[in-house]
Amino acid sequence: MYNKLSNTAEREVIEGELKIAFKFPNLYQPEVIIEGSDESILVVVTSDEPKVINYAIWGLLPANYKEEWSNFQSVFNSLTVDRDEVVSSALYKDSFYHRRCIVVITGFLISHLHDGIIHPYLVYHKEEKPFCVAGVYTTLEDGFITCSLVMKDSSHVVSKIQNLNKTMPIILNKSQQKKWLDKNTASRELLDLMDTGSDIKNFKAHPIAKEFIKNNISFESILEPVYYKGIPGDPMR
CATH code at position 29: 3.90.1680.10
Average per-residue pLDDT in the chain? 92
Q: Is residue 229 part of a domain?
A: no
Q: Is residue 226 part of a domain?
A: no
Q: Give the dihedral sign, CA 174/40/219/210.
A: negative
What confidence category does residue 236 fall into, taking pLDDT thresholds of 50, 70 and 90? Answer: very low
Give 2-49 pLDDT, tens digit per residue.
689 999 999 999 999 999 999 999 999 999 999 999 999 999 999 999
Give DSSP secondary structure letters for 85-104.
HHTT-TTTHHHHHH-EEEEE
Could you tell me the residue range of the domain that residue 55 belongs to? Answer: 4-214
Please tell me the pTM assigned to this model. 0.94
d(CA 201, CA 190): 21
207 located within any domain: yes
Cβ neighbours of residue 23 closer than 8 Å, sequence gap 6 or more: 49, 52, 53, 54
Percent of the chain with pLDDT over 70: 93
Alpha-carbon distances, residue 174 vs 8, 26, 87, 154 (angstroms): 20, 25, 23, 20
Q: Which residues contact 220 (CB under 8 A, 6 or more apart)?
A: 32
Kindly state whether residue 228 falls inside one of the protein's structural domains: no
Average pLDDT over residues 146-167: 93
Judge whether 148 lies within some domain: yes
> Which tens digits make up the pLDDT trace of 61-112?
999 999 999 999 999 999 999 999 999 999 999 999 999 999 999 999 999 9
- Asked whether residue 231 is assigned to any structural domain, the reply reads no
Instruction: Specify the amino acid at residue 135.
Output: G
Q: Do 98 and 183 touch, CB atoms closer than 8 A?
A: yes
pLDDT of residue 200: 78
* Dihedral sign computed on CA atoms, order 77, 50, 100, 108: negative
pLDDT at site 211: 76
Q: Is the pLDDT of residue 186 over 60?
A: yes
Is 227 within the bounds of a domain?
Answer: no
pLDDT of 237 above 60? no
Q: Which has the closest alpha carbon to 6: 175, 133, 162?
A: 133
The whole-number pLDDT of residue 197 equals 63
d(CA 186, CA 203) in angstroms, rounded, equals: 29
Q: Tell me if 81 is assigned to some domain.
A: yes
Average pLDDT over residues 161-171: 93
Total of domains in the chain: 1
pLDDT band at 220 (very low <50, low <70, confident <90, very high): low
Instruction: Using alpha carbons, list the distances in angstroms from residue 90 to 39, 62, 64, 87.
Output: 22, 10, 13, 9
